[in-house]
Amino acid sequence: MPDVLDRARSVLTEVHDAVTSVDPAAATALGAAIASARTVFFDARGRSGLVARALAMRWMHLGLRVHVAGETTSPAITDGDLLVCLSASGRTAGPLANARVARARGARVAVLTATPDSPLAAEADLVVVVPAQGRQHGGSLFEQACLLLGDVLCGAFQEDHAIPDAALDERHANLL
DSSP H stretches of helix in the chain: 4-20, 24-36, 46-61, 93-104, 119-122, 140-160, 165-170
| Three-state SS at 42 | strand
Of 118, 124, 107, residue with least CA distance to 142:
118
Of 18, 94, 148, residue with least CA distance to 83:
94
Catalytic residue among 14, 71, 123, 143: 143
Of 119, 61, 113, 64, residue with least CA distance to 85:
113
HSE of 157, CA atoms in CB hemisphere, 13 A: 25
Chain-centroid distance of CA 126 in Å reads: 12
- 143 is an active site residue: yes
Residue 138 DSSP symbol? T
Q: Give the residue numbers annotated as catalytic, written as ranges.
A: 143
